[in-house]
Amino acid sequence: DAGVTQSPTHLIKTRGQQVTLRCSPKSGHDTVSWYQQALGQGPQFIFQYYEEEERQRGNFPDRFSGHQFPNYSSELNVNALLLGDSALYLCASSLAQGSHGYTFGSGTRLTVV
């Protein structure tokens, strides 16, 4: 049973560029949440998708946007990259209806230069 898969694993971008990160949830999960983890910090909630809609959003600017597809996979897009966007981006999947159970992917390490 595949867990949460994220791609790519590492990425280097230049300031001002745009980036797209991808996530496939664990089989049977229908909700995807994205987190940003800067070095030495805990993960910070970006947003959550369910039924192809953004359900909740953390304190992140509109440069951060996302999408969920009918197969529950999700993308995180970041426009106009800043040096401060360098972080580990984590995707977590869960089942909306039912008891708690978050599964994290291995993350995408984004470096902005």
Partner 1 sequence: QKEVEQNSGPLSVPEGAIASLNCTYSDRGSQSFFWYRQYSGKSPELIMSIYSNGDKEDGRFTAQLNKASQYVSLLIRDSQPSDSATYLCAATERDSGYSTLTFGKGTMLLVSP
Q: Considering only residues 76 through 95, tell me which ones interact with partner 1, judged by CB under 8 A.
A: 88, 90, 92, 94-95
**CB of residue 16 to partner 1, shortest distance in Å:** 27
58 binds partner 1 (CB under 8 A): yes
Q: Taking a C-beta distance cutoff of 8 angstroms, is the pair 33, 4 a contact? A: no
Burial tier of 95 (Cβ tally within 10 Å: 0-12, 13-18, 19+): middle
Binding footprint of partner 1, residue count (CB under 8 A): 33
Give the binding site for partner 1 (CB under 8 A).
29-31, 33, 35, 40-45, 48, 50, 55-56, 58, 88, 90, 92, 94-102, 104-107, 109
